[in-house]
Structure 1
Amino acid sequence: MSDAALGRAGGQALGALGLAEPDGQVYAALVANPQSTAEELAETCGLTFQQSVRALDRLAQQGMATRAPVDRHRYLPVPPDVAIGTLIGHRESELRYARAEMHRLMDAFREASRYTDPAHSVEVLTGGEAIAQRLEHITETSRYQVRGFDRPPYIQDPVAAMPLQRRRLREGVKFRTIYDREAVAWPGRLEKNILAGVADGEEARVRSALPMKMIISDDRMAIIPISVGDSVLDAAYVIHPSALLQALDTLFEAEWERAVRLQAEVGAADGESGPDSDHRKLLGLLAAGLTDESIARSLGWSARTTQRRLQSLMRSLGATTRFQAGMAARERGWL
């Protein structure tokens, strides 16, 4: 491909990122011919000299080209990963804003329509990207609380950091999550994700089993992944204000009352010293009905270490069975 053809192709591609013609064409030609003058670039791109000079001035203002250090009449391109990466970042930011505005307008549309058209109470999302975007939208736009049921299987890494949740917690949004015991037993999840979230301010509880995965934003929206057996399909229901959303609200609160609290730190109760770090980790998992194998997997302990620390906890509580241990822990305010 000739330099002129390469420049035209590059100009068209960069035009999609908002770079005006002929700036993209000149930049692409400069990448292929560094140390070029405005006159040489004009000839390569089929432009007038003045068009080339103006394009280079705009590229310099946008941080995509610089003058050569020795011969100031010649130009050097800023590396494409930096120059084009900046353009992509700006466009992605604009698209995120536009997408958030679209969701806001759709919420307003459904709120205005739901009394006249019940079909707007439920929608179906398809595709992992669409679901991820709506989950991000829920977290970003919730006014006072986000509630959720968390259970496998997962499409994304469940141990990943949660910077958006952390920021919303700092902004005063309450997060309440009930974790299925299999979610807690997921390798690395308890230490790296769940207890880290609790330390940031999330309220977390655990149940031996949950009926579904779910997230609820305030009292205005819920998302339920569509699943068949143990597999999650690439689709989800979005429930808007309706009797169904009220039922999901009631279901969450009922499960919350039955769930066992997970704590990052536990203080002393009634003048007694609280459980040590190992015992604190064990208490919630035992109360949620996790097996020894699941406890070992969630905490990264060996089977022998798990047995030793379970026996130590039982001795400290004066219990001979897990049930007695749970009752004694509740009496002491450890659960």
Structure 2
Amino acid sequence: MSDDELDIHLRRLGLGREDVRLYQWLLGTGPATHSAIASALDLSEADTAAAVESLTKAGLVATTDVDTIAPIEPSTGLQRLARARESELRAAELAATNAYRQFRRSVWQQSPDDLVEVITAPYVAERVHLEESAATKEVLRFDSPPYTTQRGPNDLEVENLGRGVSYRCVYARAAVRQPDYYAENIQPCIAAGEQARVLPDVPVKLSIYDGRLALVSLSDAEMEISRSSLLIRQSSLLDALIGLFESSWRAALPMHLGTKEPSSLRPIERKIIELLASGITDHAIAELLGISRRTLSRNLESLTTRAGVVNRFQLAVYACRNGWI
């Protein structure tokens, strides 16, 4: 790292210009007395003492004897500076948010036009990433194809789940039927803690973040504008979208196995029941699991016999009622 780069980084952590000059000089020459520092950097005694004090408080230098200053191992000091900047950033964020709220209350009263923002195609993915990264409590989602971007592993969701953000997703059956999407996106998210359910269709492509705003993809039927999205802020419209999600969630079938499944249930049987509850065809199940129709039929026969039922519908009902899914 060059001296210029170090200067930039240390200044970002809150050190002053003279503090950084002194620290870099000490790194290049070694321990020095106050008078040697003042002479080499053309500083007054007062400025030298102030810079030494600042670096000492930051945990970057220490006095080794009566008047000699030397750099010390910086990890602890740098962590302290970083935490201080994080605290200042949070305070600044809170102050800016409160100031903006006061502005909207007293200067610029919200109009209906402010409740809805159109996000055009080039910026949709960026805005989704921004809003989802900022979620702290819960993300609600309707998921269905077609997808306007290449869909692979959803690393952001897995990361959010790891830091305590809950996810409830209702998938359209068509999403589950896509082998790559199911294997690369849906299954890893469920394994990471996503609560997933499935419906034959979902009413709209939708994501709701912490109950404070929603992103809605425009109708797939309007193909010329389907790649744009609407951002809905807190309003009765957002309340209606949350209500729509909750009613759909109650009507949807769970996609993941619960904690009560019989210990004798083999991994392939667990996956079959999971997909069976989603309502997709036997052909699609076999394709998703990479097995033959004959192998699927043999496993279904074993499961129906164990459950004491005669068809796949009754098996799905049995699995739901008995905590298999």
TM range (shorter): 0.5 to 0.7
Question: In structure 1, what is the Cα distance between the partners aligned to 2:260 and 2:17?
Answer: 65
Show CA shifts across 1:188-247 (max 9, x none).
54554313315xxxx3213465442412433x4213367997x997x8532123453244
1:118 to 96, 101, 112: 112
Cα contact 2:151–2:181 (8 A) shared by 1: no
1:245 aligns with 2:258: no
Aligned partner of residue 187 in structure 1, secondary structure: helix
1:278 aligns with 2:250: no
Cα contact 2:117–2:230 (8 A) shared by 1: yes
Residue in 1 that maps onto 2:190: 194
Question: In structure 1, what is the Cα distance between the partners aligned to 2:60 and 2:231?
Answer: 43
2:168 to 167, 170, 176: 176
Q: Give the AA of the match of 1:285.
A: L
1:32 aligns with 2:22: no
1:224 aligns with 2:224: no
Q: Give the AA of the match of 1:260.
A: L
1:107–1:32 CA distance, 2 compared to 1 (3 A): same
Cα contact 2:38–2:48 (8 A) shared by 1: yes
Shift of 1:39: 3.0
Shift of 1:293: 6.4
- Structure 2 unaligned segments of length 5 or more: list them: none
Aligned partner of residue 263 in structure 1, secondary structure: coil
1:310–1:24 CA distance, 2 compared to 1 (3 A): farther
Question: In structure 2, what is the Cα distance between the partners aligned to 1:241 and 1:114?
Answer: 16
Residue in 2 that maps onto 1:55: 51
Shift of 1:38: 3.0
1:205 aligns with 2:197: yes
1:41–1:258 CA distance, 2 compared to 1 (3 A): same
Cα contact 1:206–1:262 (8 A) shared by 2: yes
Residue in 2 that maps onto 1:158: 154
Question: In structure 2, what is the Cα distance between the partners aligned to 1:281 and 1:24?
Answer: 59
Shift of 1:37: 3.4
TM-score (norm 2): 0.68
2:299 to 294, 309, 312: 312
Cα contact 1:215–1:222 (8 A) shared by 2: yes
Cα contact 2:303–2:315 (8 A) shared by 1: no
Question: In structure 2, what is the Cα distance between the partners aligned to 1:45 and 1:121?
Answer: 57
1:49–1:97 CA distance, 2 compared to 1 (3 A): closer
Question: In structure 1, what is the Cα distance between the partners aligned to 2:106 and 2:270?
Answer: 49
Shift of 1:184: 8.6
**Stretch deviating more after TM superposition (280-289 or 305-314):** 305-314
Q: Give the AA of the match of 1:134.
A: E
Cα contact 2:286–2:296 (8 A) shared by 1: no
CA RMSD in angstroms comes to 4.7
1:294–1:26 CA distance, 2 compared to 1 (3 A): farther
Question: In structure 2, what is the Cα distance between the partners aligned to 1:96 and 1:104?
Answer: 12
Q: Give the AA of the match of 1:286.
A: L
- Structure 1 unaligned segments of length 5 or more: list them: 1-5, 297-302
Residue in 1 that maps onto 2:61: 65
1:87 to 81, 106, 110: 81
Residue in 2 that maps onto 1:134: 131
Show CA shifts across 1:13-58 (max 9, x none).
6444322342122123223333343333323322123422332232
TM-score (norm 1): 0.66
1:71–1:116 CA distance, 2 compared to 1 (3 A): closer
Map 1:283-298; keep pairs closer than 5 Å. Answer: 283-288=273-278, 289=280, 291-292=284-285, 295-296=288-289
